[in-house]
């Protein structure tokens, strides 16, 4: 039992926090179930409503969707972690992003106010 627990923790990690990874895997499992259920609903007439084939198809789709979503999530988490580590080494980038954000938001607010005043005239 300890080996199974260790294996699951090694395979299914994103954050390294066990309870958070459990919640994430639960949501991914629910999405995978929903996709598989919907797909089998559409494919049921092709399977002649055979329970065995529908069950096997459901589990194949569910496992593929779960594995794909988990891989995407792990890749996304690695990219974010690497970006944060890189930005910590390049502190000046925070200042540039902040200045650009303030300028962009100010520009959008001014542009929106001008378009509203033009419409009112």
Contact 80, 43 (CB under 8 A): no
User: Residue 79: pLDDT band by 50, 70, 90 thresholds?
Assistant: confident
Write the CB contacts of 73 (distance below 8 Å, at least 6 apart in sequence): 14, 24, 28
Residues 58-72 have pLDDT tens digits of 899 999 999 899 889
**Which tokens in the block code for residue 22?**
């459990």
Q: What is the pTM of this model?
A: 0.61
88: number of CA atoms within 13 Å, CB side?
6
* Residue 57 confidence (pLDDT): 86
């Amino acid at each position: 039992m300890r080996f199974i627990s260790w294996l699951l923790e090694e395979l299914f990690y994103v954050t390294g926090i066990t309870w958070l990874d459990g919640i994430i895997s639960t949501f991914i499992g629910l999405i995978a179930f929903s996709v598989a259920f919907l797909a089998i609903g559409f494919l049921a007439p092709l399977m002649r409503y055979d329970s065995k084939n529908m069950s096997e198809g459901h589990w194949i789709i569910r496992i593929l969707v779960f594995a794909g979503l988990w891989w995407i999530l792990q890749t996304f988490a690695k990219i974010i972690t690497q970006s944060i580590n890189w930005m910590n080494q390049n502190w000046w980038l925070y200042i540039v992003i902040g200045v650009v954000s303030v300028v962009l938001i100010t520009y959008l607010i001014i542009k929106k106010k001008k378009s509203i005043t033009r419409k009112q005239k």
